Amino acid sequence: MKATLVLFVGVVAVSFGSIFIRLAEAPPLIIAAYRLGLASLVIGPVALIRSGQELRALRCRDLFYFVIAGVFLALHFGLWIASLNYTTVASSVILVSMSPLFVGLFSHLLGMDRVTKWMVGGILLSVVGSGAIGYGDFALGGGALWGDILALGGAVMVTGYLLAGRRLRQRLSLLPYISLAYSVAAAVTLLLCLLTGQRFTGYSSTTYLMFILLALVPQVIGHSAFNWALGYLSAPLVSVTILGEPVGATILAYLILNEAPTLLEIVGGATILSGIYLASRQEVVEVVPAK
């Protein structure tokens, strides 16, 4: 029950992410760098004070997985944030939320979990749903379809992040895990910004406020809630909770941005979410020692 409550809080928090991104007038990589960088500055000192001994006891194998998790997280944000420049909030968050299907598939390929008939059925349903969204966005123009592709790429990237995080969270507590994962991801996005010549200053006060809110609400609260749950629940189950984000984000986009979803987005989104739910029907919750 405690894990379920934490996951619910996480879903509500991350639902605000796409709204804050839309209100921030800055390039995608800069938004990602500020989000991850500020979150690292908030969590890092706390982790050093409370979990310094655990950080010093990290093995080379742990650091390897941290690098993998951080790189995947940076790529996830870079692709997903960029998608919001091309397609609607509803299409973007629905497609990026297909990560549970990729988690299940790659878990099977890596020998961590097996693909069941429910997973196969869920994948087929989600393919149909994403096709409906893609068809509707194609009618809006090639840019919207490109945004859909970027969002799907973000879903693939967050899959790698969740799988790497699952291995680490089985033996590490929350604070050292998220501190290092966010810091590596922040360093990757910072490097990409420097390589592409992005500017870090000169934005509006509203944009800087959105940077702060992105770091505190969806990142520190939302993603940390998901990472905490990885210490108690399996990666596929945690990823399935992302089902709630498209619903919350779509409602918030309508209320705040006056962006109503189209009929094909509603039908395609419902089909995708049904597919993800179907894929999780036989999910087995794996309990590990609390951290």
pTM over 0.95: no
What DSSP assignment string belongs to 87-127? S-HHHHHHHHTTHHHHHHHHHHHTTSS---HHHHHHHHHHH
Quick check: 278 and 124 in contact, CB under 8 A?
A: no
Nearest to 15 by CA among 158, 218, 157, 225: 218
| Integer angstrom CA distances of residue 96 from 60, 77, 246, 273 | 31, 10, 9, 12
Taking the chain, what is the end-to-end CA distance rounded to the nearest angstrom? 16
Computed over its alpha carbons, how large is the radius of gyration of the chain? Answer: 18
Task: Quote the pLDDT of residue 20.
Answer: 95
What's the gap between Cα 272 and its chain centre?
A: 17
pLDDT at residue 285 in the model: 38
**pLDDT tens digits in sequence order for the chain, 291 residues long:** 677 788 888 888 988 999 999 999 999 999 999 999 999 999 989 888 888 888 888 888 888 888 898 999 999 999 999 999 988 888 888 888 777 777 777 766 766 566 667 767 777 777 777 777 766 666 666 678 888 899 989 989 988 888 887 777 777 777 888 888 899 999 999 999 999 999 999 999 999 999 999 999 998 898 778 777 766 776 666 666 666 778 888 888 888 988 888 787 788 778 877 877 776 665 443 333 434
CA–CA distances in Å: residue 287 to residues 101, 219, 223: 21, 25, 20
State the amino acid at position 67 in one-letter form.
V
Three-class SS of residue 57?
A: coil
What is the rounded distance in angstroms from the CA atom of residue 129 to the CA atom of residue 90?
Answer: 13
What is the predicted pLDDT for the residue at 259?
Answer: 85
Q: Is the dihedral of CA 137, 79, 126, 88 positive or negative?
A: negative
Q: Are 98 and 133 in contact (CB under 8 A)?
A: no
**Size of the chain in residues:** 291
Would you call 141 helix, strand, or coil by DSSP?
coil
